[in-house]
Structure formats: structure tokens, C-alpha cells
């Protein structure tokens, strides 16, 4: 790829990303924000308008100082769409969103995924869902997939998953993603929930936060057939998702479970359904909140988002967590931590998976590097 063409693709991507963040800017404002000359910006805007990616709006008021009225440039919200999928051992949730995060399509259906049939099932499913959602002439930016397990997001490798029975590494990019002409990304489900908050609230410039994914139907006890509660954590620091040194950040086991041979996150009575027994649910949430309070206070986290099966816990968990925060604090304060349930509800993971695509596609310039390992060029497969 020659240098001028590469530079133009990068600047095109930067313009699209800036318009996505700020909604509407003039050519002069784009040039100022991005440190480009106006001529370059104008040429790129003309190209993007011809493709239908951006539009000219009515003139922008110059303000009290007067001067020429500038023409506003905005993204064509009807040009792109993104697909996000949460896959589980017994079902999936799939949705399609536009660049504003408006949900265009959503469905949850029973469909099992396991390690043994994962490749064939997922290849077929992605092919089917992308064809079904090829609506209104929108261009597909990519597909994001939320997955319960430890994921090396950089190499796109599944390291391990208890719920889907992955006991050895699986090369997701080589076996699945590389089969498609559009970007396909895999991420841990709790991290997807965190991505959803970062993107959904991007104008707030959310910096440091914790996303807690609580689900009561993702795993089942093989002996009793009862659903087992699962917890995943997603950490956001300085506006970015923290994955840890070995991609294991957010993997949770209660500090009160000291059994070296136990893989239970929080030890519960396996003969009781946590969601149907109020005392069992309160005990479960109480222990979970003690663990969360230690993390929140120690790391001085300002925002906590709770996603997943919020209906079962929305009346009690915020107060329980605030109590735990005060009990864990040296000054008996909750530190002003903001606690709220994700507005995305049960779609938090699938929405976050789609949000991950937006971040990767709009900002990832690595594929333009001479050392790129992936053949698919995210946004640039539409611009090249």
C-alpha cells in the first residue's frame, strides 16, 4: 500500500470517528480537531459524500462573533449497521445497531453452542444472521461476539471456557473470523458489557468504571438441572478495557471460597434455585457485594454498571452494595460511587459486542501496518 493512499485511508477513518463522537462539525472544525489542512479535509469529505457515508446539513450558526455561516458535516446514520451476538451453551441473543446505538433488530432464541461443534455451528450461524440482516441497503461494518470464557482478544484465541467446555486453546481468527470478508471479533462477555457502556456513553467520556455481569441462566448444574448463577467483571480504566497480563482480568471467584479444588464463584446450595429462594438470593448477593466493595474501594472506581438478569436483583443490590462499600471503607463512606443498572438490560453483552466492532473498525489502524497479521482491513474494506 503506497504511503499517500495509506495516509488518506487513515484520515478518512479519523474524520468518520470524529463525526461519530461529536455528531456535527464543519470542515474547518474537522481540520482543527484533527490537525489537518482544510484542503485535505475538503477532498476527503467530498469522497465520503460521494460514497454516501457523510452528508451536508444546514449551515451552522457562527455565534455572536458573526462571520461566515459554516456548512455542517454529519454521518449518514442509515449507511452502516453492526451486528452483535451473545452466544451461550443453550441460546443466543443477536441484534443489529446503527452508529447511534439505535437497535434495528433483536432476537433471543434457543440454540446450543459447545466446543465440539463450535466452528461449524458458528460459521453457519454468522452466515445466516448476516444474510437475514442485510436490510435497507445498509453496509455491514462487522460482527462482534460475546463469549463466556477467557479470551486473548489481541490474538483472537479462546483460552478456556467452562460453560462451553473449551479445555484447550481455539484459534478463533484462523478457524472462524478469517472465513468472512467483513471483520468478526470475539471478546469476553463481561468485557463486551463494559465496551457497551464506553461506546453508549462516549459523549460523557466515561473513564474509570466497573461492569458487573450477573446471569442466572448461563450455566446449569449437571446433577440437579438447576440454573447456576455466574458473574463476570469488566474493568474500564482511562476509557479503555483492562484485560490483565494474561487476559484473565475479570475472572471472579469469591475470596470466601477457600477450597482450592472448587470452581464455584460463590458457593451456594446446589439443591436450591437462587432466583426462586429469597434467602438464598440475598446470601448470594451479600457475598458478591463484599467482594465487589473491596475492589471498588481499593481501585477507587467512580462508576459501577450492573448488567444481565437485573430484574431479579434491581430492588436490593444497589443498597446492599452501598452498605458493603461503607463497611469496607476506613472512613465508613461509599466514596460517592455511582451505581446503576445498565440501560441495555439483557442485551448488554450483544450490544457491547456490537460496540466493540465500532471501536475496532473506526479506530484500529493496525491493519494498515506493514506488520499486520490480519488480512481483513476493518473500516478500510469499505474505503479502499
pLDDT of residue 1: 45
Residues 240 and 350 in one domain: yes
| Residue 254 pLDDT exceeds 90 | yes
pLDDT of residue 376: 41
pLDDT of residue 374: 45
Confidence grade of residue 14 (pLDDT, cut at 50, 70, 90):
confident
Residues 101 and 206 in one domain: yes
Residues 125 and 152 in one domain: yes
Per-residue pLDDT reduced to its tens digit, 56-108: 987 766 656 656 678 899 988 888 899 999 998 788 999 999 887 888 999 99
CATH number of 380's domain: 3.30.420.40
C-alpha to C-alpha distances, 78 to 97, 126, 199, 253, 359, nearest whole angstrom: 10, 22, 18, 43, 18
CATH number of 66's domain: 1.10.10.10
Domain with 69, as residue range(s), is: 3-75
- C-alpha to C-alpha distance for 316 and 338, rounded to whole angstroms: 15
Per-residue pLDDT reduced to its tens digit, 368-378: 344 344 444 44
Confidence grade of residue 380 (pLDDT, cut at 50, 70, 90):
very low
Is the four-CA dihedral 18, 20, 23, 27 of positive or negative sign? Answer: positive
| Residue 365 pLDDT exceeds 70 | no
End-to-end CA, the chain:
10
pLDDT of residue 378: 45
Question: Last residue of some domain: 54, 75, 96?
Answer: 75
317: its cell numbers: 443490590
From the centroid of its chain, how far is CA 264? Answer: 26
301, 210 contact by CB (below 8 A): yes
Residues 9 and 105 in one domain: no
348: Cβ–Cβ under 8 A, 6 or more apart, which residues?
192, 193, 196, 213, 307, 308, 342
| Residue 304 pLDDT exceeds 90 | yes
Residues 38 and 116 in one domain: no
Question: Last residue of some domain: 75, 100, 134?
Answer: 75
210, 217 contact by CB (below 8 A): no
| Residue 259 pLDDT exceeds 70 | yes
pTM: 0.78
| Residue 2 pLDDT exceeds 70 | no
pLDDT (average), residues 124-129: 95
- C-alpha to C-alpha distance for 301 and 239, rounded to whole angstroms: 12
Question: Last residue of some domain: 59, 75, 91?
Answer: 75
- C-alpha to C-alpha distance for 357 and 187, rounded to whole angstroms: 10
Number of domains the chain contains? 2
290, 196 contact by CB (below 8 A): no
DSSP string computed for 56-98: EEEEEP--TT--PPEEEEEE-TTTEEEEEEEE-SSEEEEEEE-
42: Cβ–Cβ under 8 A, 6 or more apart, which residues?
27
pLDDT of residue 204: 61
Per-residue pLDDT reduced to its tens digit, 132-181: 988 667 889 899 999 888 899 888 999 988 778 899 999 999 999 999 98
Residues 46 and 102 in one domain: no
Locate all alpha helices (DSSP H) within 267-338, ordered by sequence: 278-299, 317-328
pLDDT of residue 379: 54
pLDDT of residue 377: 44
| Residue 227 pLDDT exceeds 80 | no
Residues 49 and 87 in one domain: no
- C-alpha to C-alpha distance for 236 and 159, rounded to whole angstroms: 21
Segments of the chain assigned E as strands: 24-26, 54-60, 70-75, 80-87, 91-97, 103-110, 139-147, 150-152, 157-160, 170-171, 184-188, 209-220, 227-237, 240-242, 303-308, 338-341
Range from 202-211, 270-279, 341-350, 371-380 carrying the lowest mean pLDDT? 371-380
Residues 60 and 147 in one domain: no
pLDDT of residue 134: 81
- C-alpha to C-alpha distance for 48 and 25, rounded to whole angstroms: 14
| Residue 271 pLDDT exceeds 60 | yes
Residues 134 and 37 in one domain: no
Residues 275 and 245 in one domain: yes
| Residue 296 pLDDT exceeds 90 | yes
Q: What is the mean pLDDT of the chain?
A: 84
Give the burial class of 144: count Cβ atoms within 10 A of its Cβ; 0-12 exposed, 13-18 middle, 19 or more buried: buried
12 vs 319, higher pLDDT: 319
Residues 53 and 147 in one domain: no
Residues 245 and 108 in one domain: yes
Kindly state the helix (H) or strand (E) to which residue 172 belongs, with its residue range. Answer: helix 172-175
Confidence grade of residue 367 (pLDDT, cut at 50, 70, 90):
very low
Share of the chain above pLDDT 90, in %: 37
Amino acid at each position: 500500500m503506497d504511503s499517500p493512499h495509506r495516509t488518506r485511508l487513515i484520515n478518512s477513518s479519523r474524520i468518520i470517528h470524529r463525526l461519530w463522537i461529536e455528531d456535527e462539525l464543519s470542515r474547518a472544525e474537522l481540520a482543527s480537531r484533527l490537525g489537518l489542512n482544510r484542503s485535505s479535509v475538503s477532498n476527503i469529505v467530498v469522497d465520503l459524500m460521494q460514497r454516501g457515508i457523510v452528508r451536508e446539513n444546514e449551515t451552522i450558526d457562527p455565534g455572536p462573533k458573526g462571520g461566515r455561516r459554516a456548512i455542517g458535516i454529519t454521518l449518514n446514520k442509515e449507511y452502516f449497521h453492526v451486528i452483535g451476538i451473545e452466544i451461550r451453551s443453550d441460546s443466543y441473543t443477536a441484534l443489529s445497531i446503527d452508529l447511534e446505538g439505535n437497535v434495528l433488530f433483536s432476537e433471543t432464541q434457543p440454540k446450543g453452542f459447545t466446543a465440539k461443534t463450535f466452528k461449524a455451528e458458528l460459521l453457519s450461524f454468522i452466515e445466516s444472521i448476516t444474510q437475514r440482516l442485510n436490510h435497507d441497503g445498509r453496509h455491514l461494518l462487522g460482527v462482534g461476539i460475546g463469549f463466556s470464557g477467557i479470551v486473548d482478544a489481541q490474538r483472537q484465541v479462546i483460552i478456556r471456557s467452562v460453560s462451553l467446555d473449551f479445555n484447550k486453546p481455539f484459534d478463533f481468527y484462523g478457524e472462524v473470523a478469517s472465513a468472512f470478508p467483513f471483520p468478526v471479533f470475539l471478546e469476553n462477555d463481561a468485557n463486551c458489557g463494559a465496551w457497551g457502556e464506553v461506546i453508549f456513553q462516549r459523549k460523557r467520556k466515561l473513564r474509570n468504571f466497573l461492569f458487573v455481569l450477573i446471569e442466572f441462566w448461563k450455566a446449569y448444574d449437571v446433577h440437579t438441572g438447576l440454573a447456576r448463577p455466574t458473574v463476570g467483571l469488566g474493568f474500564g480504566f482511562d476509557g479503555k478495557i483492562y484485560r490483565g497480563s494474561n487476559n484473565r482480568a475479570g475472572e471472579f471467584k469469591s475470596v470466601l471460597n477457600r477450597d482450592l479444588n472448587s470452581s464455584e464463584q460463590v458457593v451456594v446450595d446446589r439443591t436450591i434455585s437462587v432466583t426462586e429462594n429469597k434467602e438464598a438470593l440475598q446470601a448470594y448477593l451479600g457475598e458478591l457485594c463484599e467482594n465487589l466493595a473491596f475492589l471498588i474501594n481499593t481501585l477507587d472506581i467512580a462508576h459501577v454498571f450492573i448488567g444481565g438478569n437485573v430484574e431479579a436483583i434491581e430492588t436490593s443490590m444497589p443498597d446492599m452494595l452501598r452498605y458493603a462499600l461503607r463497611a469496607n471503607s476506613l472512613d465508613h463512606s461509599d466514596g460517592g460511587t455511582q451505581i446503576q443498572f445498565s440501560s441495555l438490560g439483557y442485551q448488554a453483552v450483544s450490544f457491547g459486542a456490537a460496540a466493540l466492532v465500532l471501536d475496532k473498525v473506526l479506530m484500529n489502524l493496525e491493519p494498515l501496518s506493514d506488520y499486520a497479521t490480519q488480512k481483513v482491513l476493518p473500516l478500510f474494506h469499505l474505503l479502499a
